[in-house]
Structure 1
């Protein structure tokens, strides 16, 4: 180790001292002694030091002057110096002291000699032996790098540097901190004993946020060079952060659920304990049910927590999720929650359709209704794409009518998509139409379609006429003719894609639109119209109609279309003749067409005739001017009579032509008539029982009904009391607006999708109640509590399913696994039907309101609307925050059936329910007929027995009026022959 300490040289100290006068007798005899006579410093750590004192005494008879002292030995290892300044002159008996310091610079034995020079004659140079050994004694420092990581400010973290002393001498280790942030660190010197392993603690106490500028230098022994230790550290504002910082659910439909993850990320390098998660509760639309807290979040770990947003009202909603964290600086971590009640929502019906068995070569259709059934404050819904998945077995046999995409639907807007099955091979077929939208939770929807095909004989189809000739039509005028397709074969004939293939520049069209397809049975036929619109410029036009049939030889039948247009002298009045609806035994009256020469010059009429039409024998000329050719002077006119026989059922169209000298092509007037085979009609009724009422409650079970359900439940006692006061024989049942199952959180056993089944479907309580039911008020209140879990309100559809087979006439619904979930026993023929819809958003059922109204009225007799009445507790034009727009469909249905609507925003629902229960159902004595009868043809039967008395026919109201009112429950049938207009 000598080389390691080469910077230290041997120090020779020359001490000049005098204890008395230097001029003394040369005969004097001074004698100098040293105590001790030698020094052994033993073992001393390199760069450490040990000192010893030597006393010099004059034991002679004369004064002695000690001049100097030095050490002869290893360079720099020893140092000697007097303890007091000189001169060092010793009189006999006096003494002085020397201090000798041993600081070894090398390892091993280091002998030396202390030399003292004096003026004694006997021993002017006194030599005193010195001995010592250098020991390499210093602490080993590890590691050379400390990383405190990332910790939250105001917290504390300690790390240690390990010190190891492998020698048998103790060492002092001294740490030094440098840098701008040294005030945030603490380190103290320590002594390491021989053979000891000890930790030098370094403590990080950050108060400022950021990366730290710090360095640590460790001196491993006294006088040793510093050992550098790299230190890295960072202080954080927060150890745990939320991802995202704000949980924004965006727009969510009312009554739907949106679940998002609020995540905690430990960005520090230390574990952090999260103790709890709570919501402020400022808006009940937000909720959470997370378990597993408290928990320890490891460094870098991310843990997610589910937050649910179920908007119970429209518009913005805010709340906070607050996490509790073990932290001195930030004990809570708030996460703002945002949402908006009301969003575009996709309603599609049907989602699946089976076309059943169809003839090969046919084309059948189903209409898929796509609706933006979100609330009125919701944004638009966009259909982005419609694509078919390939049929893995063979060529795809399904297609749809093109829709211009992207297609945007405003709130409550809808569009119908026509989906076709065109079988090209025998056997089963399947296909899926994938729709992508921007709707909430319905970005991709798959619609599944099925069908199967059977081969038949090739078609033997006759087209009449084979050429559709519009003759001459004046500029700016339009005309309509027809084409008849008749199956002359012995097997059915599929036809499809009947359309104008060439429209002559836009002048030809089919007024009813293209006919996608149909099946014509042997001997049957049907007709359709073709129109021509003459442009104001006139001209000659040619087009073509195209008909596809199942016939491999002639799969496509073309029908030429031709027309001419120019200004004419003849002016026909009327421009077309419509005989209206007629029947075989009741021909319409003949019609006339007057032709006027509007020119200033004569014209010659050479012919008047009926051209080829759908059925040539149906129209005939009655008054044909004679002679066949005659001149018509300016301003003169003539009249042509036309008769329509109405013997061929269906639509009949033919052209009436007039040849005149001013036209190259005859002037044409269309002849139109329709013949119906139906002659007699029967109107059926069931007399109501004024004391019997079947009341069905259809209750919204979506998530937004938080405020409304308690109001409904509290109004039930007044409803039951009012019914008792009227002595009404009641059947009462409850179903929900839910059609499709949602989740196990829904009560009643149907997962929120009762689909018309009475609640509770699992029969945990009685489902069909009467006033005789024990504790009926409480049970009905319990049945009203249908839960708040469904997504789409389909009140009308739920009603129709509830009162339709197989539910209405079976104790068990054979389509479901739940036992005894049918609705048998509720609907009584003799009872009036009252349906009460309760919801805070409008109905989203697939069909039109009129369809459901007519269906319900037919259940009780088509002409007895008062026996099927709809009431509603629904949104009205008076809006409130808890209602989703206006219930226009419910209001429309109530108006059509004579019912009423109460605003769902009202604080008390009892008034309407009292009115329902006390509604007076008067006995029906007047039965209106759907059509006017021939006099004397009215036949009345009551319960199957003809009744000739006790009633009269009132022509003014077209009703049968009973003087003896049929008893409740009576079946009244009124049959009559439809009147002929010519009678």
Structure 2
């Protein structure tokens, strides 16, 4: 022991005993007011009124800088806050033996107003926090100093923080020295340094390997920044050490001063202009960047209409200062046809050096069109009349005056049916067809003899380009009047289909006979299953199908078991000219006499009319999203926007796609972007295919996209139904009704792992705020709660639930459930277990997939009447999965996921984005949102590791990706209170709609909005990315309002 340093029990035990004896002698001496030290009545050793006070400061010490090999010493001040002297000092530590020691200050006495310092030292023996007490006594008084420690820590800091490269010049390299400082109290050994991305910011001089930094020591490294694209860029510098497994992170932020070009307007629609008239529009070229913009030239893109011209093209580069603009004028001289073009602006903007400006101009004139452009009646029996419909429409912008519609001097076997409402037929007067409107006429072929016939319908109008339009008519007269039908495809193969899902494919019924056929209905029946049904037909029962005409019957496949399903679709047809009997189906395919006339075949008794059905419901790692494609209305002469169909691999083993083709399609459907086959589809390498629809005539078209792979041995083919409809009308008006109390299905997916009890409580406490808007607006909601631990079932109210199964009885809550908020809170606060695979995205998918979400057609009144895989009698009194009835077709869907771990689902985030969006349809983005409460920065709500009093959370990057791509939001699980975040989700989910999605892709320059018939020039924007009109928050239409959005449908090349 060092001299003067006392450890353990009382340090001055001997002096304390002498002092006590002295006090005893004083106490037993007779009182004497005049006694002195010499016994002669001198001054007493205790002054009258003496009252010393022991004061210790501070009363607690916190040691924060000590390490195992480096003790820390702090000072306690001992003072006399009273009168007289403090004597008889003693000191004690509790515990007596431990990491704390003190240096005895050797105090004899402390007089009034004096103080003495005492040094206390902490020498840790490990990295654990410890506590203790130092007791100081004097003059019969005692004070305690509490001793606390902060555990030794290893922490590294970058200086500056954040590391910034501001206002850099494009293409000019900048360097910066970064200081790495050990701000912990334990040594750190630097082993590596790297950038997260390293595209523009690189480490040019790393610190020396294995550099040891003791507390407060520093090392340096050098970073270099070279911008080639401009703008802002964020990166992360990772510093790895030997002692800490996770790397230390330092934010790196850069900005480069660049010019940015913008055009106002971004698109020009010159409108409807009289032929040969010239109009002009000004375009402002703006510099919205932070460096001078050079406008180097403006030119028309090759292939643009010559009706457009640049009036004042720059002859040399024009410099545009930051925030300033330059005006370019473009002219349009109306010709005889609609003009499309693109002006291209060339500049030094590094992000887009050739910015296009779409141009559109239309002559103000009528434009006649017909559908079909020719009519072939095919084979028709003598004495039979076969009708066809011809549509005459006006694609122009001025009224179409039709002077006459009549036949030329061809075969007299053709005639036009009289129509008193349309006088031009057979020269009975003129009629007007307004822009965008059409007139249908009936053309009849009644052959009087055997052989071919031909004629033309001549339509005379005021269309300046086509004053007389001819529509060719052809037909062939045959002996005998027979109904003959071709039905196909046969078999109708639905391919590999997910159990519990539904797929619809078309069957075409074509009358190839010489007489009409009467349609009497159709049916589909499975063999030992009820997986097939007829969902729709283009004719009603009792209506006739004329010779050469076709009808469509839609057959639906809805498998409810993993099996190969077979069946038959039957078409009930009769021959009205042969006693409603003697039907022939697919006769031409069955004749072998080679005469070319199928009616000479002996087919008695007639064969059944219909097709074979087949489909396989099986387990497969291949998924195609979307499962069907509906192009909607597309204007004749235009293509649809390309629709992407993506093949995903949801398993662990790569699979091979060896064929992608259109099946049963006309040339109106087109494939684009098909890669070289075979194509290996891995979990992180999906196969996207583009499909385009370009209608050639009015009406609906259907066919199938076929995809062959090795995903299933039994059925290698997946089929995606395609549908589109041609129209002559490009002007579209979408009408919406703003309603309150709309339907919302809400799925909460809760992490039930052992670290989540506090966070569950945080959500539970704030569910009232989440539902406040729903209660105010009387929403019709359904709320289900499940957990996300794929590796372990969770017990709730005595029952075991797998991830994706809705917990509780009933499976989901509605407004009608008594005390629904309390029950909702109980389910969210489900308790904590110890799941091994926390996968919120996959759990959400399972909750909304077969078998959990499936409803069958089997009626029931209780669970005992149902069996696996659909063992529950659902709320709609049909057998189904645990979650049956939760997902309503006419309700929006909100998914909210809570987890402190990163998502561990096997598929990519893109797969889950596509899957969730496919539930409500890719055109109905506003009906689906995924929001998450995960590891995120509390202030910015961006994915990052975070900590709170409840523990640490991993960065939820996968969750955030899905949320951002489904219109949802990300909140931090480390926030102290989730109330505001949940209320914002509730306001969006249950509140009045702000965003209205259009039925067709709009030309942005033509969008007009009306609310209750009143034009709205402000308060809304058209979002070209989502093809929607979005109202400002303070301009949202009130409940009951009618919203009309009128626009020109965009014409894609």
TM-score strictly above 0.5: no
Q: What TM-score range do you get, normalising by the shorter chain?
A: under 0.3
The structure showing larger relative contact order (alpha-carbon pairs under 8 Å, at least 6 residues apart) is: 1
TM-score by length of structure 1 reads 0.28
